[in-house]
Structure 1
Amino acid sequence: MQQNSGATAAEASLADEDQGRLLRQPDLLAFLGSRSFSALAYQMQTVAVGWQIYELTRSPLSLGLVGLAQFLPMVVLVFVAGQVVDRFDRRRIAACCQVLSALCAVALAFASFHHAVTPGMIYALIGLFGVAKAFEQPSLQALLPSLVPASLFSRAAALSSSVFQTVTIIGPSAGGLLYGLGAGVVYSIVAVAYACAALSITLIRLRQPARPREKVTLAAVFGGLHFIRSRPEIMGAISLDMFAVLLGGAVAMMPVYAHDILHAGPWGLGLLRGAPAVGALAVSIWLARRPIRRHAGLLMFAAVGVFGLATIVFGLSTWLPLSVLALAVLGGADVVSVVVRSTLVQLRTPDEMRGRVAAVNMLFIGTSNQLGEFRSGTMGAVIGPVAAVVLGGVGTVVVAGLWMRLFPKLRDLQRLDEEVA
């Protein structure tokens, strides 16, 4: 018992030392600031757009179309974005994208203040916002591994997730509350937050090593896709997460649940949007201090199964506290999958390919999130929101079981940093 206690104390001391090392790196802090402001803006904007479009149309399908409008640019630009991120300064790319997002928010604010918003206008501006995200997300994802040593990356990823989830709790709640003052007020704050994100990313002073400029060929353009296909554990992790969220994502139906099923109003929508982040934050803090050291693959599959079951509970619930609890469990399970996937992708990809691999990874994530919203919205319009959410949760559980058989290398994965230990 004394030996176990001593080992536990030593691990805790090492965790505190590593955490201190991370927090003393100004480039990492600037990165976290940029990502936090961007995430805050995104979450507030999502609540405002969801409520506003549903008020204008009263159609679940319109909520799905919002996700589709954001997803299509990502599909069209995925391979272009990967090439750009691998060839140019990733900091400047992210900053330019955040400025473009701020301008989209300014346009939405202006139209809202003048009562000139139409569904078509929202879809068009969200599409432009999707263009910005197609370049911003792989830029940020490819940038993080350059800011910390490989031995600290798992903790850095969990720390980044903790900060992100904290903002994700604040953003939807703030968006829902501020919507009472008008959609224009929310969009104005969103624009300011994106501007702060752009300013923060420019504070990173790390000089990137010169990367070889490959000749632009089909092999180079599709290099990220070929790399992922050649690594079964990475392909399994990315595709599992994609199908889990694609089928189980209930985000698009939250305005319907808040408005018609739970009768909670805009503040209730903000509460529902923030609930997954509460669970995710708790798990992220735990993983930052106790990173996954063994059975990483099995933990990922178990987390996806819990994600599906929590989705089913949310779909059937008509009581707000139970709905919030189910979403918190869902968010906690999801962050385990996110940490496993992001660590595998970023640590096992050469720096000169990280942009292209990150772009393909973001396409999978966009497919699960935005296309998942479209799937949920269209099914909700056809069979009803409750059936759409419950069937999606059942599909997620089925996919987790099937993927365990299809990707045994992922199932048997132990340590996430095996190749860089």
Structure 2
Amino acid sequence: MADAPSDIPSKNDPYASLRYREFLFYLVIRFALVFALNMQFAVVEWRVYQLTHDAFSLGLLGLAEVIPSVGLALFAGHIVDKMEKRGMLLKCVIAYLAIGMALFGLTWQPVTQHLTQHATLIGIYSLVFIGGIVRAFLSPSTFTLMALLVPRELYANASTWSSSAWQIGAVLGPGLGGFFIKWFGVHGAMLAVVLVFLLPLFSLLQIKPKPIYYHPKDGDVFKSLAEGMHFVWNTKVVLGAMALDMFAVLFGGAVSMLPAFATDILHVGSQGYGMLRAAPAIGSTITMFILAYYPLKQKPGIKLLAAVFGFGLCMIIFGISTSFFLSVFVLFLSGVVDGVSVITRQTILQLKTPDEMRGRVASVSSMFVGSSNELGAFESGFAAKLMGLVPSVVFGGCVTLGVVVTTYIISPAMRKLDLKA
């Protein structure tokens, strides 16, 4: 399991998990991957909207990533459970490095001058699709590796710091993406992405290979996949947390439409676009640092429901706002309440999932939660095409409120949730 420090930290210490050396390298990996991938996607969104000036084309980006990510998720979880976790994550990082280099080529003028606009778009969508394949393996690999770096009694604390590293990357990635586009152009921003991918590559080499807990005897893949689904279905708190977040993000997320809002509604350009993209993650990061000191102990399920309800309200206000500063503020607030949701969900999964099943459960989670961002991007783009940009975001926020109310009524397990390890 984890390499213990000389002085075993108390689980009440807010820095307890940070005293494990390998976990610190894990946080660097977590931050750098999220930073690079968020920056990359923000730059790709901007480039695609530049080429098409069509909100639906942004939704198609999400669809291109989510199809392989969801389609391979269960199979990827089975593979990750059987394989050594650090090695799997290393393969994912190398694949993302190659994709980043290819996207740099497709945004570099000496290359694009020989391509038609249609060919450039096909290349971008194809690389996003390949990234979706890698993502199917990335999510269960990172989830399972974390549990092998700290003792079980520190899972809640480690989840808080892991989510904080994720959110800091999500803050700086799209934010700097917008500024880099302005300062160095799209191709310069893509080069920065490639360089950042070298950081998790180095950090992974500082972590020792980890034991494998899952050794299937009969080789029945479908039986293995069914075990993961069966566990999630019968653990109602896990199922409820996944479903709540999935539907909220699916219908309530407006981030994928930010290039259109920045260009056509708020008229703030790439610099303002970066601020809009960064605002939710800044709010989430602040929340997560606070929760490291003051963890959710009293009625966390009710607080989770309230947080998602607040998220839906923020999306409605953002949709009708024509003020840049108001839009940034409500996106910031949406990140504040989303931070509560992320911490609660990650802690539930770490505490409730057996070691030998972490990869498969993480894959189910990625189907429910992780891919809802991309499905939400497609839903937002499709809704924007049908009913207009602003009405589609307001409609999505209203659906989110309905999902929260429905969950409160039909899920007593969520209302009575207790996160004590």
1:171 aligns with one of 170, 173, 176: 173
Aligned pair 1:73/2:76, yes or no?
A: no
Give me the CA root mean square deviation: 1.6
Q: CA deviation at 1:210?
A: 4.4
Aligned pair 1:226/2:230, yes or no?
A: yes
What is aligned with 1:309? 313
1:212 aligns with one of 215, 229, 232: 215
**Alpha-carbon spacing, 1:183–1:214, altered in 2? closer, same or farther (3 Å):** farther
Pairs within 5 Å for 1:21-420: 21-113=16-108, 114-115=111-112, 116=115, 118-180=120-182, 181-205=184-208, 207-208=210-211, 210-217=213-220, 218-413=222-417, 415-417=418-420
5+ residue gaps, structure 1, are 1-12
Q: CA deviation at 1:214?
A: 4.1
**How many corresponding residue pairs?**
404
Deviations 1:314-339 (A, max 9, x none): 11111111101101111111111111
Q: CA deviation at 1:14?
A: 6.8
**Is the CA contact 1:155–1:289 (under 8 Å) kept in the aligned structure 2?**
no
Q: CA deviation at 1:208?
A: 2.2
**Is the CA contact 2:84–2:212 (under 8 Å) kept in the aligned structure 1?**
no
Structure 1: which 4+ aligned runs deviate by more than 4 Å? none
After alignment, is 171-180 or 53-62 more displaced?
171-180
What is aligned with 1:10? none
**Is the CA contact 1:34–1:196 (under 8 Å) kept in the aligned structure 2?**
yes
Amino acid corresponding to residue 129 of structure 2 in structure 1? G
What is aligned with 2:4? none
Where 2:281 maps in the other structure, the secondary structure is helix
**Is the CA contact 1:101–1:132 (under 8 Å) kept in the aligned structure 2?**
yes
Structure 1-normalised TM-score? 0.93
In 1: Cα distance, 2:239 partner to 2:362 partner: 13
Amino acid corresponding to residue 100 of structure 2 in structure 1? A
**Is the CA contact 1:214–1:220 (under 8 Å) kept in the aligned structure 2?**
no
Q: CA deviation at 1:92?
A: 1.1
Deviations 1:185-232 (A, max 9, x none): 111111121222122123212632543334332221222111100011
In 2: Cα distance, 1:336 partner to 1:330 partner: 10
**Alpha-carbon spacing, 1:188–1:416, altered in 2? closer, same or farther (3 Å):** same
In 2: Cα distance, 1:338 partner to 1:164 partner: 10
Identity of aligned residues (%): 38
In 2: Cα distance, 1:200 partner to 1:14 partner: 26
**Alpha-carbon spacing, 1:14–1:223, altered in 2? closer, same or farther (3 Å):** closer
In 2: Cα distance, 1:348 partner to 1:121 partner: 41
Where 1:216 maps in the other structure, the secondary structure is coil
**Alpha-carbon spacing, 1:214–1:407, altered in 2? closer, same or farther (3 Å):** farther
**Is the CA contact 1:94–1:198 (under 8 Å) kept in the aligned structure 2?**
no
In 1: Cα distance, 2:124 partner to 2:62 partner: 11
